[in-house]
């Protein structure tokens, strides 16, 4: 039994939490630190919350007045036009039933090559008639709502079937995270708030809700949360230094160029720092919750082991997780930047010669910064857990002296 005023048994819904003896001083420091982080998060939300004044947010018309975007059904699709030859007459034309009439629109060859066929639905742009003529139509995009609906339903079904209540809470947490990004982070950035400050605030708000909602309110979850927040802070600080030192502009693709045209007053380097924080958030959370759980499981299995023994055992697990997670980060970025890498590979220069281009350097900085933050979060989370989940004192026996 723990001594009064020194430690207490922390009751949680999971059995392993009930078996672990918690050091009161370390737990108080942990919860106090999280309390301060929570206060700072709320203050950041209140200070940077978008004002709602439309005049403060850059806006651009998507289309001219009177232009609509109806969805029609494909009735027939012609052959795609060759890219490097004079296109023959009629190539690339698709017959579509829309607005109670049949129209023909020209579709890019890559869309036809993707398998566009009769029965598919596509979105068109309708420009109203002028001078007594007829309205004109042009291709915008394939209507993919059907695919997205069944794939989303399958995802939810699989998560609920396998993870059950924990999966449901994870889905709710995902919805909360999406709401924070859409309702706070993006509008705040468009209103000119500092990117890194907004990212830290938004990331902290998401993690507070997601971790406690998904994994329950316990000191084990609090340990993972503390490690996550410290990892986010490390990633943000290192990202600011790296972006400034590499002189990255934050504009490496067409989307950045368009945004600059409509919102040129934005600090795009700061936005890149924000992107670094958000990009590493999910995998960082995965690592820290695993480390906290490893510490608690080891402590429950060896209640009399020293803190160092528990720390060393959890770090052996953490090193394996680090190795696999780094591969995950690198290959995830390779997948998202595959077209950029392919474009660079066709240039008549080696990859080493192109490593300092904006497109490639941005991905390299993103990968290295998030990986460093992730790696450092592992020993930090493990150390916090080893301090909070204290050893159970050995019972004194004749001729035996107990100690921590």
Contact 37, 203 (CB under 8 A): no
Distance CA 277, CA 169 (A): 23
Beta bridge partners of 375: none
Instruction: For the beta carbon of residue 311, count every other beta carbon within 10 angstroms.
Output: 19
Name the least confident of 38-42, 55-59, 108-112, 300-304.
55-59
Is the model's pLDDT at 231 over the cut of 90? yes
| Highest mean pLDDT, choosing among 60-74, 218-232, 242-256 | 218-232
SS3 404: coil
SS3 103: strand
Computed over every residue of the chain, the mean pLDDT equals 83
Is the model's pLDDT at 13 over the cut of 50? no
Distance CA 384, CA 32 (A): 13
HEC string of 288-319 equals: HHHHHHHHHHHHHHCCCCCHHHHHHHHHHHHH
Percent of residues, the chain, with pLDDT higher than 90: 41
pLDDT band at 345 (very low <50, low <70, confident <90, very high): confident
Q: Report which of 371, 384, 381, 280 is spatially closest to residue 322, judged by C-alpha positions.
A: 371
Name the least confident of 77-86, 150-159, 191-200.
77-86
Position 7 scores a pLDDT of 39
- Determine the average pLDDT of the residues in 113-123: 90
Position 130 scores a pLDDT of 78
DSSP codes, 245-295: HHT--S--SHHHHHHHHH-TTS-HHHHHHHHHHHHTHHHHHHHHHHHHHHH
Taking every pair of Cα atoms in the chain, the longest distance, rounded to a whole number of angstroms, is 107
- Determine the average pLDDT of the residues in 163-179: 90
Distance CA 388, CA 293 (A): 13
| Highest mean pLDDT, choosing among 86-95, 200-209, 348-357 | 200-209
Position 399 scores a pLDDT of 44
404 token code pair: 């921590």
CA distances from 201 to 37, 46, 269, 277 (A): 10, 10, 18, 11
Is the model's pLDDT at 159 over the cut of 60? yes
Considering only residues 342 and 73, tell me which one the structure prediction assigns the higher pLDDT. Answer: 73
CA distances from 89 to 56, 82, 84, 392, 400 (A): 49, 12, 15, 84, 96
Position 52 scores a pLDDT of 66
Can you give the C-alpha Rg of the chain in angstroms? 27
Distance CA 101, CA 72 (A): 10
Full set of structural domains in the chain with CATH: 7-50+164-388 (1.20.1640), 71-142 (2.40.50)
Is the model's pLDDT at 10 over the cut of 60? no
pTM: 0.79
377 token code pair: 């979060």
Length of the chain: 404
Is the model's pLDDT at 185 over the cut of 70? yes
Distance CA 198, CA 193 (A): 7
- Determine the average pLDDT of the residues in 370-395: 88
Position 390 scores a pLDDT of 82
Name the least confident of 57-61, 110-114, 312-316.
57-61
Position 11 scores a pLDDT of 37
Name the least confident of 6-10, 346-350, 352-356.
6-10
Position 226 scores a pLDDT of 96
- Determine the average pLDDT of the residues in 321-344: 79
298 token code pair: 């080891």
pLDDT band at 43 (very low <50, low <70, confident <90, very high): very high
Q: Report which of 289, 222, 178, 166 is spatially closest to residue 34, judged by C-alpha positions.
A: 222
Considering only residues 336 and 25, tell me which one the structure prediction assigns the higher pLDDT. Answer: 25
Sign of CA dihedral 327, 175, 337, 355: negative
Is the model's pLDDT at 359 over the cut of 80? no
327 token code pair: 């591969």
User: For tokens 């902290």, what's the residue?
Assistant: 204
pLDDT band at 88 (very low <50, low <70, confident <90, very high): low
Distance CA 289, CA 305 (A): 22
Instruction: For the beta carbon of residue 345, count every other beta carbon within 10 angstroms.
Output: 11
How is the chain split among helix, strand and coil, in percent rounded to 5?
60, 10, 30
Position 398 scores a pLDDT of 45
Cβ contacts of residue 93 below 8 Å, gap of 6+? Answer: 78, 104, 105, 106, 107
Considering only residues 323 and 224, tell me which one the structure prediction assigns the higher pLDDT. Answer: 224
pLDDT band at 91 (very low <50, low <70, confident <90, very high): confident
Position 233 scores a pLDDT of 94
pLDDT tens digits, residue range 65-75?
788 899 999 99
95 token code pair: 């017959």
Is the model's pLDDT at 324 over the cut of 60? yes
**Residues 255, 258, 259, 262: what is their CA dihedral angle, to the nearest 10 degrees?**
-160
Number of H helices, E strands in the chain: 14, 7
């Amino acid at each position: 039994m723990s001594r009064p005023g020194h430690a207490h048994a922390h009751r949680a819904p999971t059995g392993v939490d009930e078996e672990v003896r918690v050091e009161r001083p370390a737990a108080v420091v942990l919860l106090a630190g999280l309390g301060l982080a929570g206060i700072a998060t709320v203050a950041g939300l209140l200070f940077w919350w978008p004002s709602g004044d439309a005049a403060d947010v850059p806006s651009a018309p998507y289309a001219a007045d009177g232009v609509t975007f109806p969805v029609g059904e494909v009735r027939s699709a012609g052959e795609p036009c060759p890219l490097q030859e004079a296109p023959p007459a009629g190539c690339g034309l698709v017959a579509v039933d829309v607005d109670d009439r049949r129209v023909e629109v020209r579709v890019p060859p890559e869309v036809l090559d993707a398998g566009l066929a009769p029965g598919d639905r596509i979105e068109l742009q309708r420009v109203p008639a002028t001078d007594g003529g007829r309205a004109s139509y042009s291709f915008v995009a394939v209507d993919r709502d059907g695919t997205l609906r069944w794939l989303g339903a399958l995802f939810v079904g699989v998560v609920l079937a396998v993870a059950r209540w924990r999966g449901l809470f994870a889905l709710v947490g995902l919805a909360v995270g999406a709401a924070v990004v859409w309702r706070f982070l993006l509008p705040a950035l468009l209103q000119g708030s500092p990117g890194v400050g907004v990212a830290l605030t938004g990331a902290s708000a998401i993690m507070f809700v997601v971790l406690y909602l998904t994994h329950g309110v316990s000191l084990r979850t609090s340990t993972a949360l503390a490690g996550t927040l410290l990892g986010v802070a490390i990633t943000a600080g290192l990202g600011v230094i790296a972006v400034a030192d590499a002189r990255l502009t934050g504009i490496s693709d067409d989307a950045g160029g368009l945004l600059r045209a409509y919102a040129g007053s934005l600090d795009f380097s700061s936005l890149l720092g924000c992107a670094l924080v958000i990009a590493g958030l999910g995998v960082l959370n995965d690592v820290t919750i695993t480390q906290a759980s490893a510490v608690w499981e080891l402590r429950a299995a060896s209640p009399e082991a020293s803190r160092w023994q528990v720390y060393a055992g959890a770090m052996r697990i953490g090193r394996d997780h680090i190795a696999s997670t780094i591969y995950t980060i690198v290959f995830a970025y390779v997948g998202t930047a595959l077209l950029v890498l392919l474009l660079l590979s066709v240039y008549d220069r080696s990859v080493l010669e192109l490593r300092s281009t904006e497109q490639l350097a941005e991905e390299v900085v993103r990968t290295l910064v998030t990986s460093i933050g992730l790696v450092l979060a592992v020993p930090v989370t493990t150390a916090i857990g080893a301090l909070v989940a204290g050893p159970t004192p050995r019972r004194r026996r004749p001729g035996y002296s107990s100690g921590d």
